[in-house]
Amino acid sequence: MGNRAVITTPDKRIGLYLHWNGGRDTIEPLLAYCDMQGYRPPSTDCYGWARLAQVIGNFFGGEPSVGIDTYQRLQSAGDDNGVYVIDGWRIVERIEPYEGFREQDEYGFDEMLKCFDRRMPEGEQLGEYLDAQEVPTSELEIGDEVWMRTYDGLMYYPVVGFGGKGKVNGVVREGVPYVAFYDHDGDYSWNSNNYVDGDVCRIRPRK
């Protein structure tokens, strides 16, 4: 008995086997969690496979519930839930195990994110980041505390200004919000790493 599935990449060379929790209601939050952690995905290199295995291995604990092998040897092992083909941290192809198969929908997405996080080493947990509010970057205000990815992990910093005319480190940042991260005599506008990239960001609750 089990709730099996296989995860592979478009080249279908390597596969990760799950004996339990192979439903899409576990796999999608698993991938999202790895993405939130900033891990390189398996479709990029071997480090991605290691991080994916680390997260799901922590979740299962010491039980022999996860394995890695060639996809050729694993492709028929996911008899319960089939195969998930991922590119980056997104499912791009679904190979269902049998005709008439219906996706499992038992676990809540946010519930699973927090389950994965609780099983991670304390220093690697995302904690309150998982409950952070998502807002359009264009709607940020002075004082908003924005979660930024740093060498030490995810940390939050207050918005202290918006980019002016001209370029910062060769990039146009006009109107883009920046935070109080890398300082230069009280000036935070000088370093491109202080600017909030992307159309959407996560902030701590507004006071």
pLDDT, one tens digit per residue, over 197-206 is: 999 999 999 8
Please state the pTM of the whole predicted model.
Answer: 0.88
CB 195 within 8 A of CB 160: no
Tokens 């001209």 -> residue: 166
CB 6 within 8 A of CB 17: yes
pLDDT of 61 higher than 70 = yes
Mean pLDDT, to the nearest integer, of 154-171?
94
Residues facing residue 162 across a β-bridge:
177
Q: Where are the domains of the chain?
A: 5-127, 132-203
Give the CA distances from residue 196 to residues 52, 63, 185, 192, in Å, rounded to whole numbers and listed in that order: 27, 41, 21, 9
CB 68 within 8 A of CB 11: no
Mean pLDDT of the chain: 94
In this prediction, residue 63 carries a pLDDT of 78
In this prediction, residue 1 carries a pLDDT of 61
Q: Helix, strand, or coil here: 146?
A: strand
Give the CA distances from residue 205 to residues 146, 180, 202, in Å, rounded to whole numbers and listed in that order: 10, 18, 9
Mean pLDDT, to the nearest integer, of 36-53?
95
Give the CA distances from residue 74 to residues 51, 54, 150, in Å, rounded to whole numbers and listed in that order: 19, 19, 37
CB 177 within 8 A of CB 196: yes
